[in-house]
């Protein structure tokens, strides 16, 4: 069977909901998240990774992309020098969900979290996880004092990653771009991370 036929077979397998892992979804994604990497290249990247090799694959931006981690349910992909994507597959009853965090790494870390079904139809993110706002990272103060601290942050950027246990971890790195004097005022009240654990239906924030 030639390469084109294998590619079509892989895509068809996912479309028919018999995908064995997140790598299949990576190959089948309909060129919105991974528009800079064509499908044949994605298949090569997965094949090489499964054979024990991480390759720097050419992308459509004349740069390089690389699979950093890949398991049945999780993938971390370096999309470019300034962006990465993490994906995790979760099963909710009879449904399969793909939770995606697209992370921009510069000039300061920030994330866009998206949720899809097994056919790559985008779902409402809040139906799966109620992501935090900057307000949630500030503790020990309230009212006017809290508003004053929030006003010090010009760009409320939040990074979202998956930890080794499959939890979602939201964090802030405000020291990377805030004026030091303002950050020093905020730091004593700043929670560095908020963790969400999958409960079989959605991600719930840990107390």
- Residue-wise pLDDT for 47-86, tens only, equals 999 999 999 999 999 999 999 999 999 999 999 989 999 9
pLDDT class of 2 with cuts at 50, 70, 90: low
Give yes or no for residue 108 having a pLDDT over 50.
yes
Q: Is the pLDDT of residue 16 over 60?
A: no
Average pLDDT in the chain: 89
pLDDT for res 93: 84
Distance CA 19, CA 194 (A): 31
The pTM of this model reads 0.85
Burial class (CB in 10 A: 0-12, 13-18, 19+), 127: exposed
> How confident is the model at residue 112, as a pLDDT?
95
- Is pLDDT of 20 > 70? no
Residue 8 — very low, low, confident or very high, per pLDDT cuts 50/70/90? very low
| Strand-pair partners of 102 | 85, 112
Q: Which residue has the higher pLDDT, 126 or 11?
A: 126
* Strands laid side by side in the 74-80 sheet: 57-58, 64-70, 74-80, 83-92, 95-104, 110-117, 122-123
Alpha-carbon distance of 185 to 5, in angstroms, equals: 60
Cross-sheet strand order for the sheet of 203-205: 159-162, 168-171, 193-198, 203-205
Q: What is the pLDDT of residues 140-181, one digit of tens each?
A: 999 999 999 999 998 889 999 999 999 999 999 888 889 999
- Which range (19-23, 27-31, 62-66, 161-165) has the least confidence? 19-23
Rounded CA-CA distance 146/137 in Å is: 11
């Amino acid at each position: 069977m030639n390469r084109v036929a294998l590619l079509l077979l892989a895509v068809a397998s996912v479309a028919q909901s018999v995908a064995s892992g997140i790598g299949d979804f990576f190959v089948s994604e309909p060129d919105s998240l991974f528009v800079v990497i064509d499908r044949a290249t994605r298949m090569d990247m997965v094949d090489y990774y499964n054979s024990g090799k991480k390759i720097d694959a050419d992308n459509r931006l004349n740069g390089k992309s690389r699979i950093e981690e890949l398991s049945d349910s999780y993938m971390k992909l370096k999309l470019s020098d300034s962006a990465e994507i993490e994906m995790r597959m979760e099963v909710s009853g009879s449904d399969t969900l793909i939770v995606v965090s697209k992370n921009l790494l510069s000039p300061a870390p920030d994330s866009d979290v998206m949720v899809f079904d097994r056919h790559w139809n985008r779902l409402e993110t809040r139906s799966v996880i109620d992501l935090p706002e900057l307000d949630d990272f500030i503790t020990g103060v309230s009212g006017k004092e809290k508003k004053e601290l929030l006003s010090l942050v010009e760009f409320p950027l939040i990074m979202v990653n998956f930890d080794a246990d499959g939890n979602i971890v939201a964090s802030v790195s405000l020291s990377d771009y805030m004026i030091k004097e303002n950050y020093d005022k905020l730091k004593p009240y700043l929670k560095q991370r908020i963790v969400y654990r999958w409960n079989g239906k959605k991600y719930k924030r840990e107390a």
